[in-house]
Amino acid sequence: MTVEHGATLPPRPPGAGALARLASSMAQPILGRIARRVAARHASLFARLGAHQNTDYVIDPVELPFALHLRPDPQALLFRAVPRDALPAAGATIRGRFLMLLELLDAEVDGDAAFFSRDLEITGDTEAVVRLRNALDDVDGSIAEEAAAMFGPPGRAILGHLRRKYSDDAMPRGE
């Protein structure tokens, strides 16, 4: 099956104001737990990051009302939701649809192919992005499923729902 994706990403939602701040604050405890668990279970990925353990990555899922800020320093790991009007100065920015980013995280989608199709945009320090991609790609298993499992059956159900929705959205047009 050939899956056609849009050649360009939709415009960013505002991601600012009261709604974005509320959504960010609600997501924060969950993100913190996920980051700590992944770092503890996959400590070897930090070696592939090299000096970019101190890089500030902004991961911008275009459908969400906020972006994500990652600084993968094993000594002071930072992974937080941030309204788009309060983003830090980014060393590198990675932008795409949320579920595609999730599939990239789990090596279900090839990053170069997503870049060729223009579903993935990167700006800033390209080496930082390449290092992060290669570090995550060397992780066995599914980080998304590990994260979902932390929240029991509801977590797995939400992940399953998101994946089905992504699969439906990615069906070839005209069928």
Partner 1 sequence: MSLAELICPAGTPAALRTAVDAGADAVYCGFQDATNARNFPGLNFTPEELEEAVAYAHARGAKVLLALNTYPPAGKVDLWRQAADSGARFGVDAFIVADMGVADYIARNHPGVRLHLSVQAAASSPEAIRYYAQHFGVKRVVLPRILTIPEIRKIRQEIPCEIETFIFGNHGLMVEGRCSLTNYLTGQSTNMDGVCSPASEVEYIRDEATGTMSSCLGGFTIDRFGPEEKAGYPTICKGRYTAPHRPEGYYAFEEPVSLNLSRLLPDLIGAGVHAFKIEGRQRSKAYVRSVVSAFRRAVDDIRAGRAANIEDLVALTEGQKQTQGAFETKKWR
- Contacts with partner 1, residue ranges (CB under 8 A): 1-3, 7-8, 48-50, 107-113, 115-118, 121-123, 125-127, 129-135, 137-140
Q: How far is the CB of 27 from partner 1 (least distance, A)?
A: 26
- Between 25 and 126, name the residue whose CB sits nearer to partner 1: 126
Contact between 121 and 8 (Cβ < 8 Å):
no
Q: State in angstroms the smallest separation of the CB of 116 from partner 1.
A: 5
How far is the C-alpha of 103 from the C-alpha of 109, rounded, in Å?
Answer: 5
How many whole angstroms separate alpha carbon 54 and alpha carbon 64? 25
The string of DSSP codes covering 36-56 is HHHHHHTTTHHHHHGGGGG--
Which is nearer to partner 1, 68 or 109 (by Cβ)? Answer: 109
Kindly tell me which of 23 and 122 has the beta carbon lying closer to partner 1: 122
Smallest Cα–Cα separation from 59: which of 9, 113, 97?
A: 97
CB of 138 to partner 1, least distance (A): 4
